[in-house]
Amino acid sequence: MRGMLHRLGVVALLAGSLALAGCETTKDVGTKIEEVQSKVALACSFVPTAATIVALFSKSGGEIGDMVRQICDALTKKKAARGARPMVNGVEIRGYRI
């Protein structure tokens, strides 16, 4: 339950910032988060948290295909394989493997 509330808070925060920047709706933001999560899951068997995706959108501008590639690349680097936390543009990639 706590995770779901956190996710909703993050979605609301992102929706507010994107709405100001590009007139996005909450539905659009939620859809983008879900799209990134499903594409990363298919590409590299990992589901990033909504907070991770929000942070990446704020750092990179939001090209979904590039974001998916960067997340998967970070997860497969040797450092990540040895226990170091994967990073993209200064954002720690958090989530879970499937």
Q: In angstroms, rounded to a whole number, what is the distance separating the alpha carbons of residues 53 and 64?
A: 10
Contact 98, 47 (CB under 8 A): yes
Q: Tell me: pLDDT of 19 over 60.
A: no
The answer to pTM > 0.75 is no
Condensed to tens digits (0 to 9), the pLDDT of residues 31-75 reads: 999 999 999 999 999 999 999 999 999 887 768 999 999 999 999
